[in-house]
Structure 1
Amino acid sequence: MITFDQVTVHYDDMPEPALRDVGLTVDEGELCLVTGHTGVGKSTLLGAVNGLVPHFTGGTLYGRVTVDGRDTAHHPPRELADVVGVVGQDPIDGFVTDTVEEELAYAMEQLAIPPATMRKRVEETLDLLGLAELRHRALHTLSGGQQQRVAIGSVLTAHPRVLVLDEPTSALDPTAAEEVLAAVTRLVHDLGVTVLMAEHRLERVVQYADRVIHLPGDGRVRIGPPAEILRTATIAPPIVELGRAAGWSPLPLSVRDARRAAAPLRARLAERAPAPVRPPVLKGGGNRLLAARGVTVAYRDLAAVRAVDLELHAGEVVALMGRNGSGKSSLLWALQGSGPRRAGSVRVHGEHGAQDPHTVSAAEARRLVGLVPQTPADLLYLESVGQELAQADAESAAGVTARELLDRLAPGIEDATHPRDLSEGQKLALVLAVQLAAAPRVVLLDEPTRGLDYRAKAALTGIVDALAAEGRAVVISTHDVEFAARAADRVVVMAEGDIVADGPTAEVIVSSPTFAPQTAKILAPLPFLTVDQVARELADTDKARS
């Protein structure tokens, strides 16, 4: 179905090719997972499948890419639209109509499909993806998972034989991600659709993949069965890391299989108490930095946040969790001061006493509370990465430069690069560096791991730890349960605008089958959250035996 024949892609402004001598074949009805660190060429590989590379991205493509017998060098994307459907990272950015039903019909209108056929395909797609009850709903009122299913449906109505998905679960809560992946696997198994999926959160998707295409970073690719590729890959989900640490063979790819293999490991760790994931917060939580009382946010008649009380303390890292649409982002914007607040108060303790970020200047508010939004590119407005970093340093109160912060998150980004030419993960890393350079007392991060690989998330965790050690309070709104388990010492869960849980990370996430990390599920009832905890205990037991 898809063939890369000695394909090399070289961009004029890059010293090395993005892809080098790539040869691979993806068969009909196969789900291939594309993995690799941020910036290694995954988007280039995906773009070459529907002709975006090189027809719209520029650069030079050597070799030959064929899809269903069509050479992409001679068929631009519009001539492949009936064969290849593409769904980007942010589905709402690709919507062109107002309602679900209209969006499903739009692609067929562009292909001049007869109205009777259009109606039949819309009905079939509504049923296939479980969208029938939403057919008349406005797209902007849907949850993230519903929007992602509509985005997939909007390309499926053209009956493509290939579906290309770029980070399909990156913005979704665990339940919504499962809904989307269930829909995708149904397309593969029941309809024979070929799926090429790039995803950083491998723990969500690796068990569904037939094969893995791994890009190690030198432009080349490795392709093979998931367990075989991931055993030595530079990037792997926690379940594989745990299997490596425990010496399991073959490596399990699902929690069910891992639990079956884990009985000896659980017995070995039964008498061990894991060390804390993070150093304990100062007794009493440190000094109070922020106090929110009765914060209410409403949009017209829709209440997004309902009379929420929240306190944040120095040295504390809080994970703000909950399903899509629960009010997390609205709460963060209200705490930062820029968002609408119908009622309530926010006080942040700074150099001049307790202040409301909503009532001070923008520069002062940024030193009190820094916020990185879900769409970080909205904060990038200069012509180069170097200019963005220099501007951040000019306004900085931190002892570390924005460039140093950026290199820790996403190394290798040149100053001359235009911010709009960066990958989504690189854009996020740049905005993180810019915001953190202001050294705010309270740092709010809205889905900061979206588009970041495991290495970048580990670097982000290090920065978060450093901010907490400096006495700052950090709030991370996230659907990434693995990141929350590693980075947070407290978890706050929201639902329908209310706080429904607030407590230590281990207590809150382990009690929830939705938010529990893979290690906790595999080793339950033992109180382990991360692979690092397990590895330390195994090393200690080995040392004691010797």
Structure 2
Amino acid sequence: MEIITAERLSFRYPDESRNSLDELSFSVNEGEFVVLCGPSGCGKTTLLRHLKRELTPVGTGSGTLKYQGQLLAELSPERAAGEIGMVFQNPDAQIVMDTVWHELAFSMENMGYPPSVMRSRLAEISGLFGLEPLLYKSVHELSGGQKQLLNLASVLLLQPKLLLLDEPTSQLDPVAAREFIGILQRLNEEMSMTIVISEHRLEEVLPLADRVLLLEDGALKAEGSPREMVRRIGKELSSSHLAYLPTAARLFLRLSPEAEYAELNSLPLTVREGKQWLQKRRLLETDAKGMAVAGSVANTGLSTDAEVLLNCREVTFRYEQDGPEVLKKLSLLLFRGELLTIMGGNGAGKSTLLHVISGLAKPQRGKAELAKGVSAGYLAQNPLLYFSQDTVLEELQHMAHYAGMTEAESQHEIAELTAIFQLQDLWGSHPQDISGGQQQKVALAMVLLLKPDILLLDEPTKGLDPGAKENLASLLLHLRSQGASIIIVTHDVEFAARHASRCAMLFDGGITAEGTPESFFSANYFYTTAVNRMVRDWLPQALTIEDVN
């Protein structure tokens, strides 16, 4: 039975020149796991907000949207709120109460559940999600991963039939993201819960899908099972769509003759399937001479005379006088022209370290010193913190004015950044009305207008589609060639492996490992790329598809 049916669904935001949704027609069956993918601004979030009636955006629309055969607009408030749940991209945007206990109880109280039912459901969900130790904690003490689990648990307490998720793993570390997706798989398989999820990180989620919907410019570009999408992209669609496939599938398309596409079940989606296919084809030599993992932490690929722009010396920081130490005698150097990625679990202190380096937080002991005359620009995880104007263009002009640019300089710099991040069509849009990925690009462009010597970026690829990530990488390479240095806090292993010059792991308040991407990732088990997990028995330091010939 169809749980969702859309017929010629169109929608346009106020004052926009084009539709955000354009004649969308599709259906979702009960118990299906459906993945939405496509570039930033293609309409994924707008579509999900239409499916969650209470979040329907303001604008003009047409077409019909039905839930279990009934017009969505005609559902009773209790049924619409209880049977359709949604988890947002930004964990903080969904939390409304002060403690974990109060947040979990909030939705049930609004639905008027009796206390006995509330306590029974709380006990069950808290055990399933491991939230019991956190029940009486302030929500402000939780990491990003814990907040996202809290949001999912709060939604599930109403026992919805349809679960909508908008980039739910974008702020989670690789381990937490895998655990989160594992919970979604259990809900789908064991509870037959219908799931519609929008994601850019498709490595783990796509193999679980029954169907994939690929959106472009608000229209449905293609749909089908994951393997059908692999074959279509390999044969029909543009090469730009390759980025939406799991690594195993992309490696298959790169190394296979077109004749192999015919057997649908042979198309690999997971690391296991990819490795089995490689073994079957014997595409990799077993002789790995000269490919041993470099075990030296000191192997950073930097010359010993490189100029030091930042020196963190035994930095110790805690938020409260009697609270735990978030950073513990942390030491770190940043050299001119390098791109350093800092990884670690949610709550490890990565964002705190950027706060200390940027001067937003003062360490209790130790120092984070910038070289003389060096400036630092900081981009926080939440781009909404940077917006105060009515349009995207006004935001950029305001920042250029703050940076002391002349009118001519302002026009030139804004035009250049607009082209890089493809913001031309957004100049007249309100920053609050654009997608999360577009907001991220606008905020980054604003920081770049300040022309800092050191760029501090907290999860800059969050919400970005693959094409936007490559544009960002090209820009960062250009900045490095001009002498700028960059620190990126990220959970995006693939981006770090491809573009970093040095990687570091933050654990227990300090830097526990650092090195070139090849030495760093090949020594890890979870914090490594899908390619490395597939081929490390033959090519221990291969990280990307390009590394595998």
Same fold (TM over 0.5): yes
Q: CA, structure 1 residues 285+68, in 2 after alignment: closer, same or farther (shift >3 Å)?
A: farther
Q: Does 1:418 align with 2:430?
A: yes
Secondary structure in structure 2 of the residue aligned to 1:500: strand
Structure 1 match to 2:294: none
Instruction: Measure the CA separation in 1 of the matches of 2:267 and 2:501.
Output: 30
Q: Does 1:340 align with 2:357?
A: no
The one-letter code of the counterpart of 1:334 is V
Structure 1 match to 2:124: 124
Structure 1 match to 2:163: 163
Structure 1 match to 2:69: 69
Structure 2 match to 1:303: 325
The one-letter code of the counterpart of 2:544 is T
Structure 1 match to 2:296: none
Task: Return the offset for 1:489.
Answer: 1.4
Instruction: Measure the CA separation in 1 of the matches of 2:440 and 2:25.
Output: 31
Structure 2 match to 1:362: none
- Indicate conservation of the 8 Å contact 1:392/1:402, yes or no: no
Q: CA, structure 1 residues 38+110, in 2 after alignment: closer, same or farther (shift >3 Å)?
A: same
Q: Does 1:267 align with 2:284?
A: yes
- Indicate conservation of the 8 Å contact 2:82/2:159, yes or no: yes
Task: Return the offset for 1:11.
Answer: 2.9
Task: Return the offset for 1:62.
Answer: 1.7
Structure 2 match to 1:322: 344
Structure 2 match to 1:35: 37
Task: Return the offset for 1:217.
Answer: 2.7
Instruction: Measure the CA separation in 1 of the matches of 2:422 and 2:77.
Output: 31
Structure 2 match to 1:236: 245
Q: Does 1:286 align with 2:306?
A: yes
Task: Return the offset for 1:328.
Answer: 0.8
Structure-to-structure mapping, 1:420-459, within 5 angstroms: 420-459=432-471
Which has the higher mean CA deviation after the structures are superposed, 399-408 or 208-217?
399-408
Structure 2 match to 1:144: 144
Instruction: Measure the CA separation in 2 of the matches of 1:266 and 1:474.
Output: 37
Q: Does 1:368 align with 2:375?
A: yes
Structure 2 match to 1:153: 153
Structure 2 match to 1:540: none
Q: CA, structure 1 residues 217+229, in 2 after alignment: closer, same or farther (shift >3 Å)?
A: farther
Task: Return the offset for 1:224.
Answer: 1.2
Instruction: Measure the CA separation in 1 of the matches of 2:359 and 2:282.
Output: 49
Instruction: Measure the CA separation in 2 of the matches of 1:213 and 1:403.
Output: 33
Instruction: Measure the CA separation in 1 of the matches of 2:545 and 2:372.
Output: 38
Identity %: 33
Structure 1 match to 2:176: 176
Task: Return the offset for 1:271.
Answer: 7.4
Structure 2 match to 1:356: none
Q: CA, structure 1 residues 507+281, in 2 after alignment: closer, same or farther (shift >3 Å)?
A: closer
Secondary structure in structure 1 of the residue aligned to 2:163: strand
Q: CA, structure 1 residues 510+62, in 2 after alignment: closer, same or farther (shift >3 Å)?
A: same
Count of matched residue pairs: 513
Secondary structure in structure 2 of the residue aligned to 1:374: coil
Over aligned residues, Cα RMSD in angstroms?
A: 2.4
The one-letter code of the counterpart of 1:466 is H
Instruction: Measure the CA separation in 1 of the matches of 2:394 and 2:343.
Output: 34
Q: CA, structure 1 residues 236+315, in 2 after alignment: closer, same or farther (shift >3 Å)?
A: same
Task: Return the offset for 1:319.
Answer: 0.6
- Indicate conservation of the 8 Å contact 1:444/1:475, yes or no: yes
Residues 399-426 of structure 1 show CA distances to partners (whole Å, capped at 9, x for unaligned) of: 9613422331244433221111121111
- Indicate conservation of the 8 Å contact 1:396/1:439, yes or no: no
How high is the TM-score relative to the length of structure 1? 0.88
- Indicate conservation of the 8 Å contact 2:342/2:350, yes or no: yes
Q: CA, structure 1 residues 243+350, in 2 after alignment: closer, same or farther (shift >3 Å)?
A: farther
Secondary structure in structure 2 of the residue aligned to 1:467: helix
Q: CA, structure 1 residues 157+392, in 2 after alignment: closer, same or farther (shift >3 Å)?
A: same
Residues 355-381 of structure 1 show CA distances to partners (whole Å, capped at 9, x for unaligned) of: xxxxxxxxxxxx611111111220121
Residues 436-482 of structure 1 show CA distances to partners (whole Å, capped at 9, x for unaligned) of: 12221111101111111111111111111111111121110000101
Q: CA, structure 1 residues 191+325, in 2 after alignment: closer, same or farther (shift >3 Å)?
A: same
Which has the higher mean CA deviation after the structures are superposed, 73-82 or 38-47?
73-82
Structure 2 match to 1:227: 227
Structure 2 match to 1:3: 5
Structure 1 match to 2:113: 113
Q: CA, structure 1 residues 82+530, in 2 after alignment: closer, same or farther (shift >3 Å)?
A: same
Residues 161-204 of structure 1 show CA distances to partners (whole Å, capped at 9, x for unaligned) of: 00111111000001111111111111111111111100111113
Secondary structure in structure 2 of the residue aligned to 1:479: coil
Instruction: Measure the CA separation in 2 of the matches of 1:98 and 1:53.
Output: 23
Q: Does 1:96 align with 2:96?
A: yes
Secondary structure in structure 2 of the residue aligned to 1:203: coil
Structure 2 match to 1:377: 384
Structure 2 match to 1:17: 19
Instruction: Measure the CA separation in 1 of the matches of 2:78 and 2:462.
Output: 29
Q: CA, structure 1 residues 76+371, in 2 after alignment: closer, same or farther (shift >3 Å)?
A: farther
Instruction: Measure the CA separation in 2 of the matches of 1:265 and 1:17.
Output: 49
Instruction: Measure the CA separation in 2 of the matches of 1:405 and 1:262.
Output: 42
Instruction: Measure the CA separation in 1 of the matches of 2:361 and 2:18.
Output: 44
Instruction: Measure the CA separation in 1 of the matches of 2:142 and 2:302.
Output: 41
Which has the higher mean CA deviation after the structures are superposed, 481-490 or 391-400?
391-400
Structure 2 match to 1:363: none
Residues 56-100 of structure 1 show CA distances to partners (whole Å, capped at 9, x for unaligned) of: x12233221112333123348765101100110122321122333
Secondary structure in structure 2 of the residue aligned to 1:23: strand
Q: Does 1:212 align with 2:212?
A: yes
Q: CA, structure 1 residues 221+7, in 2 after alignment: closer, same or farther (shift >3 Å)?
A: farther
Secondary structure in structure 1 of the residue aligned to 2:125: helix
How high is the TM-score relative to the length of structure 2? 0.88
Structure 1 match to 2:297: none
